[in-house]
Structure 1
């Protein structure tokens, strides 16, 4: 048995505006609610022109106002840029506006180009330690009435009747271990790292460290009535992985973006590899067969599916096809 949820990054198609892309995301969330998806998440990306969602908490609030029952959240807030106290305030406020419907997902990566990262962190004296940030954020969320900051007590209110559910996004055993240590749910980013061995080890680590809890698996997925059509759509998608001379590597949607990332990072030498993204695709029946296999093999009770950057109509059609079966018991 497994449930399905969605992640949308508000892709801006060629000839489209960010306004249209955000409108498409809201429409997708409304339809997802009608179809019975469990949750709808939005992402955080900075400094690029191909994705419209740079402030997930703002988009979350708008989607909450335009829906009535589906859980809505961030997939995720890039915590390294922000004060944990402020993130707790924002999500306590959202949870007070829509009690029982808010998810807080956080990630470790910067989610953008180097200059955007520098601008976001311009007023920090030093780069924050993610583990310390997650610990502080957990404390603020757990003790929203009074949380300690140094020697002072601060109120990270309002105090919601139900706090946001918490999810740590990652793709390694270390992330799984960190999530379990702080009492957070763990979402394995299978759409970013599909290595089977790493997946197995990460999921096993979380289950063992959390006392038996099941992680959520995030995947990119695209369904069509015609398997050949799905294959053609996916064949046109590309990612460009840039390897910098300092050992850093980042995947981006276009070659010129990969080159710009290297330039902004000040790399003297770099190389770029063109790759095919990992997208589960085919008919809805074949996709559910694979989800059922993964669910059985790894004890997965919920999948978060990301429609790839195809047209808005294609993304909508895909989630409708995958919802043919009752989503609370899709297997």
Structure 2
């Protein structure tokens, strides 16, 4: 094997559960992932959704870092549009000072929630001023540079504490524009294949990143589900779907259900919209079949690391899938 496996966790809250149960399961999953040989464990950021508990990835990451000893831990990713770049740098410098050499900072640009949650997060922002994401990312990079550079710009404060080893920084995106932005600003790039598994889009994004001189090799996030039999994996995968919400103003986004689509439209003040049911892009089957699919993606695109997202709807099969892939891919390599 010539690639690594890592995990993306969304801390799903299942029916009849509390957020405490969901978060405890995420911590236990990170501990298992470390024992099984996964390289990274990233926690997502979502807001205003009863079905997910991962609203604050930096807080959850701190607890997971304290509950593990080797695996890299980070965000997949912090939704920068809501926050001060300076504060994000401070948060991750604290984490990197507590757990040197184990902290990742993944950044995303989506809102990560329903409109009311977005407005609450951006309370105090001037709605007439459109925030420039590339400028925010540049500011964040400048604050993070102080973690390894002793020089200080006269007009820029230090984001303390300065860690002995800076966080590894990644930009998450789903197209060539994001890939070029990552390269231009010196960030590593993760293609969000769990949201867009189109091979042409993957190739175009990787090509854009390489041509722009991006550092390292892009990572690829994929939704993966392994089961003891192909029939079982297909049964679970067949029950998964994505609801694509199309608003009249041209905005389109993925939501979890028809009910969530209606609630999003209501909060956005939209009375006319349409939905489209899609099957998610998923690599499903026996562990051997999933491995063959990953091997093929590795050979075609030169992927050195996959970030695996296991669908929340799989429930108990999530842990089984992660364990099976560890046995098939990681244990075999070891």
Output the TM-score relative to the length of structure 2.
0.95
CA separation in 1, counterparts of 2:247 and 2:333? 42
Indicate the residue corresponding to 1:229 in structure 2. 232
Alignment of 1:19 onto 2:27: no
Q: Which has the higher contact order (CA 8 A, sep 6+)?
A: 1
CA separation in 1, counterparts of 2:17 and 2:200? 39
Unaligned runs of 5+ in 2: none
Question: 1:326 offset after TM fit, Å?
Answer: 5.2
2:188·2:215 contact (CA, 8 Å) conserved in 1? no
Equivalent of 1:216 in 219, 230, 243: 219
Indicate the residue corresponding to 2:308 in structure 1. 305
Question: 1:146 offset after TM fit, Å?
Answer: 6.6
CA separation in 1, counterparts of 2:201 and 2:36? 32
1:95·1:162 contact (CA, 8 Å) conserved in 2? yes
Alignment of 1:249 onto 2:252: yes
Indicate the residue corresponding to 2:56 in structure 1. 55
CA separation in 2, counterparts of 1:272 and 1:311? 23
Indicate the residue corresponding to 1:75 in structure 2. 76
Output aligned runs, 1:1-331, within 5 Å: 1-125=2-126, 126-144=129-147, 148=153, 152-210=155-213, 213-310=216-313, 312-325=315-328, 327=330
1:221·1:305 contact (CA, 8 Å) conserved in 2? yes
2:183·2:215 contact (CA, 8 Å) conserved in 1? no
CA separation in 1, counterparts of 2:249 and 2:257? 21
Aligned length: 329
* Deviations, residues 264-320 of structure 1 (Å, cap 9, x unaligned): 111231001122222211000000001000000000000000011135532111111
| Greater CA drift, 195-204 or 73-82 | 195-204
Q: Any idea what SS the aligned residue of 1:73 has?
A: strand
CA separation in 2, counterparts of 1:315 and 1:307? 6
CA separation in 1, counterparts of 2:207 and 2:230? 33
2:187·2:215 contact (CA, 8 Å) conserved in 1? no
Q: Any idea what SS the aligned residue of 1:193 has?
A: coil
Report runs of 4+ in structure 1 exceeding 6 Å deviation: none
* Deviations, residues 189-247 of structure 1 (Å, cap 9, x unaligned): 00101122111100111122226731000001110011101111121222211100110
| Greater CA drift, 196-205 or 280-289 | 196-205
CA RMSD of aligned residues (A): 1.7
